[in-house]
A and B are shown apart, each in its own frame.
Chain A
Amino acid sequence: MSTSDLIKLGIEAILIQNVILTQFLGICPFMGVSKKSQSAIGMGLAVIFVMVISSGVTFVINDLILQPNKITYLQTIVFILVISGVVQFVEMFIKKTAPFIYKTLGIYLPLITTNCAILGIALINVQPEKEFGYAEMFVYTIGISIGFTLVIYIFSTIRERLENANVPKAFKGTPIALITAGIMSIIFLGFAGLV
């Protein structure tokens, strides 16, 4: 795959196949951690960090162990265990080596273990019809996680403004947030013909 194809794949992952608004993965943190833009950025950074590491590890395990031994039906359970284990080790590593990063991301790391977007992307990367190599997997995963961060940040800024807006009582809180998410999803569908 040439460099321009990789750039196209990255743009596609960020905008066209957006993990939240198009693939509907990771909706839980999207709704739960988007009240403040600061927490949304923290969650986004943690997702980028964990998604890239766990997707890399799961891709290698699939390539070197699962496929040669024809035990690809174990993908889901193996990937869940890998993600959970990787998150624990990443958290421990950050605690020891980078207290500043731990202050920013620490609270979000354990929550990411239950984020279906991480498992979803790890599984999408190894789908035979995708025919991803290591470079494509890396670009796609980075693109998807940047797309996640972008959308959750935009959504959090809208929600911050909605807090002060004159919203009818019945729509306050979750209902208006869901309507906003729906409109954002429709907007992102407009990127479909971009690449």
Chain B
Amino acid sequence: MNFTSILTMTLLVFGLIFFYAIGIYLNKKTPLPSGCDLPSLKCEHCTSTSCSYSEPNRVEQIKTEIKNSLKNKNSGEGAINE
């Protein structure tokens, strides 16, 4: 690997990081068009908490759903045994 390649590589990567950072900064600074309220868009198909689509508190919701279904199942079995 020669010096030019290393220099190009460094400039390219840092240039792109700078490009991205500037993009985020300018985008945040730009005001939303008037009368434009975006609705929230969330997915509830998995328990991932890191995904940007994921609905917040989804894990807690699933835990509650499972607990409720187990409770219902147990009470149903009890009724059969009785």
Q: Which residues of A approach B to under 8 Å, CB–CB?
A: 28-29, 31-33, 39, 61, 65, 69-71, 74, 77-78, 81-82, 84-89, 91-92, 95-96, 99, 102-103, 106-108, 110-111, 114, 173-174, 177
B4 neighbours in A (Cβ, 8 Å): 69
Q: Please indicate the chain B residues that have their CB under 8 angstroms from the CB of A107 in the complex.
A: 38-39, 41
Give the shortest distance, in Å, between B26 (CB) and chain A (any CB): 5
B residues within 8 A CB of A110? 52
Q: Are A28 and B16 in contact (CB under 8 A)?
A: no
CB B3 to nearest CB in A, in angstroms, measures 11
B26 touches A88 (CB 8 A): yes
Decide if B16 touches A78 in the complex (CB within 8 Å): yes
Once bound together, how far apart are the Cα atoms of A108 and B41, in whole Å? 9
Contact at B23–A69, with CB atoms within 8 Å?
A: no
* A92: contacting residue among B13, B27, B36, CB under 8 A: B27
Contact B17 A114 (CB under 8 A): no
- What are 14 residue pairs bridging A and B, where the CB atoms are less than 8 Å apart in the complex? A65-B8, A69-B4, A82-B16, A85-B16, A85-B23, A92-B26, A95-B30, A95-B31, A95-B33, A99-B33, A106-B36, A107-B39, A111-B53, A177-B45
How far does the alpha carbon of A74 sit from the alpha carbon of B8 in the complex, in Å? Answer: 11
Q: Is the CB of A92 within 8 A of B41?
A: no
Chain B contacts for A61, CB-based, 8 A = 12
A-contact bits for B24-62, CB 8 A (1 contact / 0 none): 101100111110101101010100000111000000000
Q: Are A78 and B13 in touch, CB under 8 angstroms?
A: yes
